[in-house]
A and B are shown apart, each in its own frame.
Chain A
Amino acid sequence: MNKRARLNVSFALIWVDFPVLYYAAVTARDPVLTAAALALMALAVLVALFT
């Protein structure tokens, strides 16, 4: 995957995870879902780190 494709993936993951993060941490206050959403964000940022 080239640099631009990785950035696109990171971009998509960040914004897909945004409502999930909010729902998990603020609306549902579900610790497991929150940890999962945070892990997904870490993955999205990790993809950006390797561009």
Chain B
Amino acid sequence: MNGIEVTPALWLLAFIPVLVLLVTFIGLRWGAPKAGAAAWFTALIIGWAGFGGDATLLATANAKGLSLALFVLTIIWSSVYLYNVADRLDAPRVIGTTMTRLVGDNLMQCLLIAWCFSGFVQGITGFGVPVAVTTPLLTAVGVPPIAAVVMTLVGHSWAVTFGSMGSSYYTIQLVTRLPEPLIGPWMAMFFALPTITCGFAVAHIQGGMPAVRRSLLPVLLTGSIMAALAWALAFAGAPQIASVFPGLVGCIVIWGITRLGLVKTEAGLAADGGESQVAPPGRLNFNLAFLPYYVLIGLSILSQVPALKDATRNLAWGLDFPALQTGLGYVVAAEKTYAKINLVSHPAPLIAGAALASFAVYAARGLWTKGLVGGAARVTIKQCVPTSVGIATTVMMALMMNDTGMTTTLAHGIARATGPLFPLLSPYIGVLGSFMTGSNTTSNVMFGALQMETAKGLAVSTVIISAAQSAGGSLGSIIAPAKVLVGAAVVGLSGREGDVMRQAVPYCLILVLLLGIQAWLFAYVFFRSLA
């Protein structure tokens, strides 16, 4: 395997940094900077002593990690600042109050915001923006901060592969070279289950099993409509909107179900809004409060216009990295403009543009108060410095693991050891990639070919295993530290990321297990003859 002979001892060695991160983060409840630092030192030592990475390779991996961290952190800093300004203008309360009026039931609000709206936002932008945008909206409708973060992480995860205008989907298609008319509809069909189970998971986070029972009709109906739409779009050759459109339609269906009174409401709460939850009117109306997000959605759509994309393709920043080799012979490919930050289509300039446009409107409306900009900036720095240290250390650790061959060793070990159970565990390899890098796309780049080759070796459908890889990567977003930190930062939970992770991990493992069972049944029972 690319120079490395995978042995059980080497596999265990490669697993130690991940174990250290999990134990310190979840078990010992260390904050992200401290847990990331412990895992960083572990990866550095094992990468050097066990996997033959020299100083140049390890330094290059760290520089790559910081390039990737910069990509994510610019999104976090800009979205946290935008939220802090909005918060000082009382916008979250106005949004929450309006949502409460429109969709009175808290369960339906959670489904609408965390499951459908976040899927819609993921469809347009991705890269952690849905988590940054929708988590504060959930706290605004009364969801406790930790539950709000977990809900968003779980709720948006069905939309990641076809999200960001289909970037992860196109990656798995390119890596596996499976024809688009074949993989597209199968991928969408494969996602029907997680689309629905993510809805039930959101309901469970909101109110446990009673909420799951209450959500049966809305989740099954909305989820089926969203899944059918995603399939139809993939079949029609438009996979790039197979998250955006279903997410948007899902919002409308949830609102419709509530208005028609098709769901049993919580005791003492009217279907069209509980009066006790309606806060007194402020200076902003809903449209003004939501203005930054309207502008962000508009700019995100605009940035995807092909002519504009082509014209601004070169307005980007990214570093080049050379090919390198470890002492064990593991070859790391060269990278051109790694973790490219496009100055027009990257989420940070879009968020900044949305903020500036909205601030101009607020100023023109006389809503601007003295000290607003500076005050929000001070709070943002206070919130984002710990998050930034946590992200930098964990991403550098992940890149050291990637470039010394540790991550590939882990994946090959799983693939080799599982045999006929491989389809069941195949999505977990996708999860591993997303966990390490925070990206479904990168997970598909790292493991798409490995999954494909393993499937061929076991005479299992490559289409199903490719879909399992990408779907696993999609659901892996739930526990990706980079995304957990984004969610924690926007609702002031810096230092309590471990609590978020502890609640998120079981949902991720269960949802991926269901996905694995589906993959196994598809591969060995229902579609044995599929290519």
Name A residues whose Cβ lies closer than 8 Å to a Cβ of B: 4, 7-8, 10-11, 14-15, 18, 21-22, 24-26, 29, 31, 34-35, 37-38, 41-42, 45-46, 48-49, 51
Contact with A along B307-351 (1 / 0, CB 8 A): 000000000000111100000000000000000000000000000
Distance A2 CA – B355 CA, assembled complex (angstroms): 33
Contact at A49–B385, with CB atoms within 8 Å?
Answer: no
- The stretch of B38-46, B160-168, B505-513 in contact with A is B38-46
Decide if B388 is an interface residue (CB 8 Å cutoff).
Answer: yes
The dominant DSSP class at the B interface is helix
| Shortest distance between the CB of B498 and any CB in chain A (Å) | 14
Q: Say whether, besides A18-B66, A46-B37, A25 and B388 are in contact (CB < 8 Å).
A: no
Contact at B40–A26, with CB atoms within 8 Å?
Answer: no
Contact at A7–B33, with CB atoms within 8 Å?
Answer: yes
Contact at B385–A7, with CB atoms within 8 Å?
Answer: yes
Contact of A21 among B33, B63, B320, B382 (CB under 8 A): B63
- The stretch of B51-59, B178-186, B233-241 in contact with A is B51-59
Q: Say whether, besides A7-B385, A14-B389, A49 and B59 are in contact (CB < 8 Å).
A: no
Contact at B66–A21, with CB atoms within 8 Å?
Answer: yes
The dominant DSSP class at the A interface is helix
Given A18-B63, A21-B66, A46-B37, 7 more A-B residue pairs with CB atoms under 8 Å apart are: A4-B385, A7-B33, A14-B392, A21-B59, A48-B389, A49-B34, A49-B38
Contact of B386 among A7, A15, A38 (CB under 8 A): A7
Mind listing 22 A-B residue pairs with CB under 8 Å?
A: A7-B33, A7-B385, A7-B389, A10-B389, A14-B392, A14-B393, A15-B392, A22-B319, A25-B55, A25-B56, A25-B60, A25-B63, A26-B320, A26-B322, A38-B59, A41-B59, A41-B62, A42-B44, A45-B41, A46-B41, A49-B38, A51-B33
Contact at A48–B319, with CB atoms within 8 Å?
Answer: no
- B residues in contact with A4, CB < 8 Å: 382, 385
Contact of B41 among A15, A37, A49 (CB under 8 A): A49
Q: How many residues of B contact A (CB 8 A)?
A: 30
Distance A35 CA – B70 CA, assembled complex (angstroms): 23
- B residues in contact with A14, CB < 8 Å: 66, 389, 392-393
Most chain B beta-carbon neighbours within 10 Å: one of A10, A42, A48: A48
Contact at B385–A8, with CB atoms within 8 Å?
Answer: yes
Distance A51 CA – B386 CA, assembled complex (angstroms): 10
Distance A35 CA – B322 CA, assembled complex (angstroms): 18
Distance A40 CA – B173 CA, assembled complex (angstroms): 41
Decide if B31 is an interface residue (CB 8 Å cutoff).
Answer: yes
- B residues in contact with A37, CB < 8 Å: 59
- A residues in contact with B40, CB < 8 Å: 45
Contact of A10 among B33, B63, B322, B382 (CB under 8 A): B33
